Amino acid sequence: MLRLTFLRNGSTEGEEKGRYIGSKDEALTAAEREKLRTAVAPEETEAVFCSPMKRCLETAVLLYPSLSARVIPELKHCDYGAFADMNYQELQENEVYRKWMAEGGSGPYPEGESMSDFRKRCLEGLEKVVAEAWEQEWQEVLLVVSEDVLRVLLAACAFPREPYEAWHVAFGEGYRVRFHADAFLAGEQELVVDKKVRLF
């Protein structure tokens, strides 16, 4: 049985200002780095994986300085394209955004990626994590990602089933799940959710 903890990264300046920074590669704020240095991370973790985003890698390194964080490129934040780094008010005033929403808001982000492509690559990234855990015979691993990566993966695989919107987490929060790695790699991609976790 593999136990995996999904954890959202610490906060950045843009995120604290309410901006949808997407794939803009911001570092953690100084205050957030200090919080993470004193946070109590799950002690049983045998390996740490993370998104290539600075905020995720920094979070992983600060929580587990003695472990070498394994970067999974496929777990990069969703590319919001023309909408990246805007806040809610700016989006409401943006003609391209209003047109996109009027058409259902379900197509690819203008100049960005589609949700289906994003989901596909995130699942490919998770499969890499599980494959290495299976090969190394690890039983406890942790994965630091941005909120949208966490939400799209849990919406796709978590049990009980919940939609994308239901998996909201604050900075430093996440979920602990369990599953059989061999079954997951064979196509039975169901993650049983045990509990919500919080660093702060």
What domains appear along the chain, each with residue ranges and CATH number?
2-78+113-198 (3.40.50.1240)
At 78, is the pLDDT very low, low, confident or very high (cuts 50, 70, 90)? Answer: very high
Does 13 score more than 90 pLDDT?
A: yes
pLDDT digits (tens, 9 = 90+) for 159-190: 999 999 999 999 999 999 999 999 999 999 99
Strand partners, 28: 12
- Could you tell me the CA-to-CA distances from 3 to 44, 83, 143, 172 in Å, in that order? 10, 35, 11, 18
**Interatomic CA distance for residues 100 and 118, integer angstroms:** 18
Dihedrals φ, ψ of 70, to 5°? Answer: -95, 115
